Amino acid sequence: MDFAGFQLRNNLFVAPMAGVTDRPFRQLCKRMGAGLAVSEMVTSNNLLYATKKTQRRVDHAGETEPISVQIAGGDPQMMAEAARHNQANGAQIIDINMGCPAKKVCNKAAGSALMRDEVLVGQILEAVVSAVPDLPVTLKMRTGWDRDNRNAPRLAHIAQEAGIRALAIHGRTRADKYMGNAEYDTIASIKQQVRIPVIANGDIDSARKAAAVLEYTGADGVMIGRAAQGRPWIFREIEHFLATGEELPAPEVLEIRDICRSHLNDLYAFYGEWSGVRIARKHIGWYTKGLAGAQQFRQAMNVEETVEGQLAATDRFFDHLHRQGVQLQRQPSCYEELAA
């Protein structure tokens, strides 16, 4: 896919997720078939640039290009400075967060809270685009503030006129948070109205669902978020289905063990042992979700304090499932709802 001046292997995107899409996770998803992975959002508050959390979020050492960094904030000049700061730290694409529904973000007039102030949105977009004229700037947003105010089509026109190169749209409003089902009519409408690429996001949890959303909306690509947690192979499944019309078999238990183990080692290397072990717990929980004995295993694993102990426990769990002949079952999809 030709995207904002970069040639991607496909039109599959990893959604930015706070506390999830760190460098190890982005790299894993790219190895498993994603065309582009957007970073965790980086604050535009320069007082936080020196914190360990922010420094990790702008660490792109060895990362597969192109490097897309999402920035968040509600002040045009601070956002412009954040764009320049991240460009200096290796960002090749700047993405603006106008989709996060979290209270701690929206209460600071950032994220999806910006959608209520269309004038301010225009000022932020123009400031960021002007600040980094050599980099493409993209925008992620929701369909509106609430279901009575789905103003994403107007904001899409504002974005296009400001020089935004692509839009990613989550098919829920800010008020919806992650409740209910994503809707794709608004995304389809925007795609018909703008010239820039549109990426569809929300409830895309299988290869068939991805294909159905692309057909229904006419979008240029799909963005996967929560469905990739513990299932990074979803990208190769979608890539294969879009190319062949055939579904790949679910991965074997031992392959899941190997993917999980590789991911854990990357986390330990990136965060160090103390933080790495604790951050790894949620990922192990996602990898084992739905498997026999997973709940009991997670309870024991969550008190494990060492790298060696965590890896050994993970190996024992998956090796036991393999000896029992357990097969991963394909997870139910929302595809049928869209098809109906």
Q: Catalytic positions, please? A: 100
- Half-sphere exposure of 288 toward its Cβ, with a 13 Å CA cutoff? 26
Spatial separation of the C-alpha atoms in residues 321 and 132, rounded to whole Å: 51
Spatial separation of the C-alpha atoms in residues 215 and 83, rounded to whole Å: 34
Q: What angle do CA 188, 191, 195 make, to 5 degrees?
A: 175
Spatial separation of the C-alpha atoms in residues 34 and 206, rounded to whole Å: 14
CA proximity to 279, closest of 292, 300, 259, 265: 265
Spatial separation of the C-alpha atoms in residues 64 and 273, rounded to whole Å: 24
Q: Hey, what's the torsion of the CAs at 127, 92, 134, 152, to 10 degrees?
A: -40
Spatial separation of the C-alpha atoms in residues 129 and 80, rounded to whole Å: 8
* Residue 117, burial from CB neighbour count under 10 angstroms (0-12, 13-18, 19+): middle
Which positions ≥6 away from 6 have C-beta within 8 Å?
Answer: 36, 65, 66, 92, 93
User: Among all chains, which residue has been given the structure tokens 């925007």?
Assistant: 190
Query: If you ran DSSP here, which 8-state letter would residue 65 be given?
Result: S
Spatial separation of the C-alpha atoms in residues 28 and 11, rounded to whole Å: 17
Spatial separation of the C-alpha atoms in residues 247 and 223, rounded to whole Å: 19
Task: Specify the long-range contacts of residues 23-26, CB closer than 8 Å, at least 24 apart.
Answer: 23/56, 23/59, 23/60, 23/61, 23/63, 23/270, 24/263, 24/266, 24/267, 24/269, 24/270, 25/232, 25/263, 25/283, 26/63
**Encoded tokens for 227:** 């469905």
